[in-house]
Copies of this chain bind each other. A is one copy, B any other.
Amino acid sequence: MSEYVRIALDAMGGDNAPSEQVKGAVEALQADERVFVILVGREVIIRGELSKHQYPKDRVRIVDAPEVIETGEPPVKAIQSKRNSSLVMGLQLVHQGEADAFVSSGSTGAVLVGGQAIVKKIRGIQRAPLAPLIPTANGASLLIDCGASVDARPSHLVQFAVIGSIYMKNVMGIENPRVGLVNIGAEEEKGNALCKETYPLLSACPDINFIGNVEARDIPYGAADVYVTEAFVGNVILKMYEGVGSVMLKEIKGALMSSLKSKIGALLIKGALKTTLKKFDSGSYGGAPLLGLKGLVVKTHGSAKANEVKNTILQCLQFKEEDVNGKIQEYLAAQKTAEGET
């Protein structure tokens, strides 16, 4: 069974669970023969969903998890009290080495807390960042960190830059990924205390391709492959992206429906517009990995559909095959050696 990449999927987490989760799993199984899916959740419900599909039965396992963590629950308490939830049991599978990765569309807070508490950080990793891929005019960039640990220190940001680069190179196939520090001006001396202290450290870091400060305005244009920032700002960027995009689309749709003339026009542009907007569909690149843990944990959108679930599972495949965690550990070991020498 070792030739497979074993992905534990939270079948119960998310707005469209379990139907889209199971559908996405089936699509991933069909797309790549190396995929082995462990569906974690209420067994009866999962079996019911699976019966709707044709799928390779020898690459699917079900782990019965009777409990479900709801979105509104306080994360720490939920993780501690619901030991038989799909989320906790899925993370346990990674911790015990029975799965290579865990994918969930459930509560972000619970995934973040549970990932760190159950799967645990790689030794030497100061903070495990949540790093979503954000769509840009040129493809996708990694925004690291968007997690829950705010008030980061400069050394955290340097680690984010290195592990973000390892991820983009190995999972997304980008050679020598450009690292930008999110700041409010282009010059080195700009920004808050965190940026000013981080800039020279990134400049001096031999393991990354640092291109300097990047202003938020240039993020959607794809000015860098890895945008390094602390989690508060990362969250604001991610949510502004979603908010501005959704308001604009809503307003444009309203405009298109405002008269008969515009409705006819809308029919004519529909195809072209759909292709363009697809580029900005955050689900098309898969979910947000929680990096620096001993196994891979990926958070998909709460609203994830089958396509995002499928893409995320394939993303996990790449992560495992390219041994991203091995490369992170090599970096940490080399850094430790260098520190020992000085």
Contacts and interface: CB of A to CB of B under 8 A. Distances in A.
B269 A262 contact: yes
Interface in A237-273: 237-245, 247-248, 250-252, 254-256, 258-259, 261-262, 264-273
A133 to B, nearest CB: 16
A201 interface: no
A252 B276 contact: yes
B232 A252 contact: no
Interface of A is mostly: helix
B247 A272 contact: no
Interface stretch (A10-18, A26-34, A83-91, A212-220): A212-220
A244 B151 CA distance: 26
A2 to B, nearest CB: 40
A235 B184 contact: yes
Contacts of A247: 136-137, 220-221
A273 B276 CA distance: 17
A172 interface: no
A76 to B, nearest CB: 12
A211 interface: no
Given A245-B244, A255-B275, A262-B268, A216 B232 contact: no
A88 to B, nearest CB: 22
Which among A182, A191, A265 has the highest number of chain B CB atoms within 10 Å? A265
B265 A232 contact: no
A256 to B, nearest CB: 6
B240 A255 contact: no
Contacts of A262: 268-269, 271-273
Contact of A233 (B218, B232, B277): B232
* Number of copies of chain A assembled together: 2
Question: How many A residues are at the interface, by size bracket?
Answer: 35 or more
B258 A272 contact: yes
A280 interface: yes
Contact of A216 (B193, B236, B259): B236
A150 B192 CA distance: 5
A279 interface: yes
Contacts of A192: 150-151, 232
Contacts of A250: 137
A298 to B, nearest CB: 20
Contacts of A150: 184, 191-193
A117 to B, nearest CB: 19
Interface in A44-100: none
Nearest to A192: B150
B256 A269 contact: yes
Contacts of A238: 216
16 contacts: A150-B193, A151-B193, A184-B236, A191-B232, A216-B237, A217-B239, A219-B240, A220-B240, A237-B240, A251-B279, A255-B275, A258-B272, A261-B272, A262-B273, A265-B265, A269-B269
The 4 A-B residue pairs whose C-beta atoms are closest, nearest first, are A265-B268, A265-B269, A216-B239, A217-B239
